[in-house]
């Protein structure tokens, strides 16, 4: 499958490809960790044991997995939408303009959410040394909040990348959506 | 002002084709502008609400569904259903519906059900001269059955939001699910009357030995809902733990029993499921923030007053609630719809004496129907791809299924509470 990064200038596309590789790894590992942990929890409990405060580190890892998955979805343009207009509008010129408006809105809104995420992380850093932490393992909230912040930043980057490609490549399909898979 | 502004933004942006999570982000921007909230507190509030182990059941069911989808487990289920009813006219499509119900229960994913059952059944149906549009629409309409036949991730989510028993929520949609299966088959049979060139296979002479062989093949897959429900019902596992165990169980089944996956493709499958999880979780994240601020602005009570100002007749109120849910479902996906509908509509229906478990069933049927109702009908578009049938050929038969199968199921579920409450009360008290 062609990635949007392949259509970007090499200097931009190559580092993004590297970042995507790291994200894929995080998503895959977090998926296995989530499933494996619960099997382990059930087994340990049935043998009379207890996996102390596992929820705290598991949620931290899961948050990274969720939000990096959302970035990969942005890269593949797989986020759910009501694509009815792309079915109704058959005029390619009009369809191109509709898609442009959609991509500008997506870029602007994601950028604003990224700013809110920045405020969240900034407030957390500024509250040092009185950081919010989990109750038992004292994992700083900053750990997964950084993941949320980075995910919105990269979702903005990919929204911008799609917008750039849409403008540069005027022959691209009006609805550049990837197939929805489960 | 806030209600109408939010609705206008959501409707406008979704109809334009903007992603659901972006539409909710835009609503948050509107709420920040009109409500004068501190935007720095927006995302932490979503993260706080999302930071619960219960919610992990959803991604875990998605991973299990992804593994089951790629693991070729649909084939023995279809073969088993075909064996029973494949020899009568309309039997093959009916087998698709039954297989969708069973597979949906195993995978918990409507997308996985549609991809697997549609991918296998459509060539069979074409070969037997069943009409393309009708057959594809039937498969599409049967694919949300997984939301109704337990275990279902959306019921876990509902139970979490509404603070209800997960098991009771699971059981509330069993009978509506069976009604829907029956109605889908009946509507399809009626539509097939004018098609006389349908080829029907003969009933196998060695039925019992074949049934035995197919049952053995299908058994490991069919055991999965048993493990999940048995584990939860027996008090051995929580729903989230059961979802985790389901993933681990699905791995060797998909690799060694059905041989649809290898260890290498397993990682790829988990990664692809991770992307789907990302899509859903980012929506959950933003919807949770939106719903928190709507509650903060007392929107549920304002909505309740608005509904009661029209009528205080329970029948009229329930019809209006259903209408709102249908509209919500038409515009957004089932998870977002559930998260938005539950805090807004539950106080209204409780006001007319509806049990929250009964509402779980009504919501389940509504959201299932929403998945196939345009404009946001992800299953309809996916169904067109999977079955290689143009969307416009799916629209008319889908409308028939919505009017004559989904709608009656919804009306029955809404106005006959015992359909959703009898089984939970019988089994769980």
Q: What one-character-per-residue DSSP string does A123-177 give?
A: HHHHTTTS--B-TTT--BTHHHHHHHHHHHHHHHHHHHHHHHHHHH-TTS-SS-P
Looking at residue A173, what is its pLDDT? 55
Tell me which chain B residues have a C-beta less than 8 angstroms from the C-beta of A27.
270-271, 274-275, 277-278
The phi and psi torsions of A48 (rounded to 5 degrees) equal 85, 5
Whether A80 sits inside 8 A of B391 (CB atoms) is no
Please tell me the distance from the alpha carbon of residue B262 to that of residue A123, in angstroms, as a whole number: 46
- Best residue in A36, A81, A111, A181 to probe B by mutation, most B CBs within 10 Å? A81
A27 contact B CB<8A: yes
Q: Which of B401, B371, B375 is nearest to B383 (CA)?
A: B371
Location of structure tokens 């008090």: B235
Residues facing A133 on adjacent strands: A140
Q: Which of B287, B258, B335 is nearest to B59 (CA)?
A: B335
Looking at residue B376, what is its pLDDT? 65
Please tell me the distance from the alpha carbon of residue B245 to that of residue B31, in angstroms, as a whole number: 41
Task: Return the residue of A nearest to B38 by Cα.
Answer: A116
The phi and psi torsions of B52 (rounded to 5 degrees) equal -140, 140
Torsion from C-alpha of B407, B411, B414, B418, nearest 10 degrees: -120
CB B100 within 8 A of CB B113: yes
Across the interface, of B29, B62, B244, the residue whose CB is closest to A39 is B244
What secondary structure letter does DSSP report for A5?
G
Whether B17 sits inside 8 A of A72 (CB atoms) is no
The phi and psi torsions of B382 (rounded to 5 degrees) equal -65, -40
From residue B241, how far is each of A38, A135, A156, B247, B408 by CA, in Å? 5, 22, 34, 10, 36
Q: Which of B143, B178, B116, B196 is nearest to B398 (CA)?
A: B143
Q: Is A91 left (phi over 0), alpha (psi -120 to 50) or beta?
A: beta
pLDDT in tens, A31-43: 999 999 988 998 8
Please tell me the distance from the alpha carbon of residue B123 to that of residue B104, in angstroms, as a whole number: 20
CB B26 within 8 A of CB B248: no
CB A87 within 8 A of CB B374: no
Looking at residue A171, what is its pLDDT? 65
B45 contact A CB<8A: no
Looking at residue A181, what is its pLDDT? 35
Name, in order, each residue with C-beta under 8 angstroms of B130's C-beta and a sequence gap of 6 or more. B92, B93, B192, B195, B198
CB A122 within 8 A of CB A113: no
Chain B (359-388) residues lying within 8 Å, Cβ to Cβ, of chain A = 374-376, 378, 381-382, 385
Chain A (129-148) residues lying within 8 Å, Cβ to Cβ, of chain B = 141, 144-145, 148
What secondary structure letter does DSSP report for A81?
B
Taking only the tens of pLDDT, chain B with its 429 residues reads: 777 888 889 889 988 989 989 999 999 999 888 877 778 888 998 888 888 888 898 889 889 888 888 888 778 888 888 888 878 888 889 989 988 888 888 777 787 788 888 888 888 889 889 999 999 999 999 999 988 988 888 888 899 889 899 889 999 999 999 999 999 999 999 999 988 888 887 777 888 888 898 889 889 888 888 888 888 888 888 888 888 998 999 999 999 998 989 998 999 999 999 998 999 899 989 988 988 888 887 888 888 888 888 888 889 999 999 988 888 877 777 788 888 888 889 989 998 899 999 999 999 999 889 888 876 677 887 888 888 888 888 889 999 999 999 999 999 999 999 999 999 999 887
Residue spans of the domains in chain B: they are 1-42, 50-428
Across the interface, of B44, B248, B271, the residue whose CB is closest to A35 is B248
Whether B111 sits inside 8 A of A182 (CB atoms) is yes
Average pLDDT across chain B, whole number: 88
Average pLDDT value for residue range A170-175: 59
Tell me which chain A residues have a C-beta less than 8 angstroms from the C-beta of B332.
80, 82
Across the interface, of A76, A101, A151, the residue whose CB is closest to B275 is A76
Whether B15 sits inside 8 A of A85 (CB atoms) is yes
Burial pattern B46-56, b for ≥16 Cβ within 10 A else e, equals bbebbbebebb
Across the interface, of B240, B270, B281, the residue whose CB is closest to A66 is B281
pLDDT in tens, B170-227: 999 999 999 999 999 999 999 999 888 888 877 778 888 888 988 898 898 888 888 8
Total residue length of chain B:
429
The phi and psi torsions of B240 (rounded to 5 degrees) equal -70, -45
Top pLDDT among A86 and B424 is at B424
Looking at residue A28, what is its pLDDT? 96
pLDDT in tens, A145-158: 999 999 999 999 99
Q: What is the ipTM of this complex?
A: 0.91
B43 contact A CB<8A: yes
Looking at residue B412, what is its pLDDT? 96
Name, in order, each residue with C-beta under 8 angstroms of A62's C-beta and a sequence gap of 6 or more. A30, A33, A34, B56, B59
Please tell me the distance from the alpha carbon of residue B58 to that of residue A15, in angstroms, as a whole number: 32
Tokens in use for A148? Answer: 């949320």
Tell me which chain B residues have a C-beta less than 8 angstroms from the C-beta of A65.
59, 274, 277-278
Helices first, then strands: H and E counts in chain A: 5, 0
Whether A181 sits inside 8 A of B59 (CB atoms) is no
A90 contact B CB<8A: no
Looking at residue A1, what is its pLDDT? 63
Tokens in use for A72? Answer: 């990969």
Statement: residue A178 has pLDDT above 80: no
A173 contact B CB<8A: no
Task: Return the residue of A nearest to B67 by Cα.
Answer: A182
Tokens in use for A41? Answer: 């929890």
- Our measurement of the distance from residue B129's CA atom to the centroid of its chain's CA atoms, rounded to an integer in Å, reads 29
Residues facing A140 on adjacent strands: A133
Looking at residue B357, what is its pLDDT? 96
B105 contact A CB<8A: no
Tell me which chain B residues have a C-beta less than 8 angstroms from the C-beta of A31.
59, 63, 270-271, 273-274, 277
A51 contact B CB<8A: no
């Amino acid at each position: 499958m062609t990635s949007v990064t392949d259509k970007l200038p090499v200097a931009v596309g190559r580092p993004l490809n590297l970042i995507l590789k790291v994200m894929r790894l995080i998503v895959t590992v977090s998926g296995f960790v989530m499933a494996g942990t619960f099997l382990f929890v059930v087994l340990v409990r049935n043998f009379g044991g207890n996996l102390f405060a596992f929820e705290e580190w598991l949620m931290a890892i899961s948050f990274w997995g969720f939000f990096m998955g959302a970035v990969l979805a942005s890269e593949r343009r797989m986020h759910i939408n009501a694509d009815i207009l792309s079915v109704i509008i058959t005029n390619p010129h009009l369809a191109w303009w509709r898609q442009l408006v959609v991509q500008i809105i997506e870029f602007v809104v994601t950028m604003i959410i990224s700013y809110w995420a920045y405020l969240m992380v900034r407030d957390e850093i500024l509250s040092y040394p009185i950081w919010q932490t989990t109750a038992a393992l004292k994992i700083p909230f900053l750990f997964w909040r950084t993941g949320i912040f980075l995910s919105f930043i990269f979702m903005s980057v990919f929204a911008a990348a799609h917008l750039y490609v849409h403008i540069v490549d005027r022959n691209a399909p009006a609805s550049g959506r990837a197939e929805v898979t489960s | 002002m806030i209600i109408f502004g939010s609705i206008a933004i959501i409707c406008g942006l979704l109809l334009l084709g903007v992603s659901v999570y972006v539409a909710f982000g835009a609503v948050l921007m509107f709420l920040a502008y009109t409500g004068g909230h501190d935007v720095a507190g927006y995302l932490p509030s979503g993260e706080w609400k999302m930071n619960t182990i219960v919610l992990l059941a959803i991604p875990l069911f998605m991973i299990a569904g992804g593994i089951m989808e790629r693991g070729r487990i649909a084939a023995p289920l279809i073969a088993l259903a075909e064996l029973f009813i494949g020899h009568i006219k309309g039997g093959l499509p009916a087998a698709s519906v039954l297989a969708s119900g069973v597979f949906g229960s195993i995978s918990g994913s409507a997308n996985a059900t549609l991809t697997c059952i549609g991918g296998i059944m459509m060539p069979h149906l074409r070969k037997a001269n069943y009409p393309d549009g009708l057959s594809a629409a039937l498969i599409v309409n049967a694919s949300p059955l997984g939301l109704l036949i337990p275990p279902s991730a959306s019921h876990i989510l509902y139970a979490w939001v509404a603070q209800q028993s997960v098991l009771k929520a699971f059981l509330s949609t069993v009978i509506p699910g069976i009604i829907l299966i029956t109605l889908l088959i009946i509507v399809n049979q009626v539509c097939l009357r004018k098609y006389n060139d349908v080829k029907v296979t003969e009933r196998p002479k060695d039925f019992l030995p074949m049934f035995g062989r197919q049952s053995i093949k299908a058994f490991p897959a069919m055991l999965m809902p048993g493990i999940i429900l048995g584990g939860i019902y027996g008090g051995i596992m929580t729903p989230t733990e059961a979802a985790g165990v389901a993933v681990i169980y699905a791995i060797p089944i998909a690799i060694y029993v059905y041989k649809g996956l290898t260890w290498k493709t397993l990682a790829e499958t988990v990664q692809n499921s991770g992307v789907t999880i990302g899509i859903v979780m980012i929506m959950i994240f933003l919807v949770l923030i939106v719903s928190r601020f709507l509650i903060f602005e007392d929107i549920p009570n304002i909505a309740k007053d608005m509904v009661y100002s029209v009528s205080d007749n329970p029948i009229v109120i329930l019809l209006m609630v259903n209408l709102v849910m249908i509209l919500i479902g038409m515009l957004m996906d089932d998870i977002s719809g559930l998260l938005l509908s539950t805090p807004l509509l539950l106080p209204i229906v409780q006001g007319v004496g509806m049990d929250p478990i009964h509402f779980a069933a009504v919501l389940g049927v509504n959201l299932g129907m929403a998945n196939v109702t345009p404009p946001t009908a992800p299953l309809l578009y996916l169904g067109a791809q999977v079955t290689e049938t143009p969307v416009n050929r799916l629209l008319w038969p889908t409308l028939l299924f919505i009017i004559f199968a989904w709608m009656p199921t919804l009306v029955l579920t809404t106005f006959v509470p015992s359909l959703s409450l009898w089984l939970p009360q019988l089994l769980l008290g």
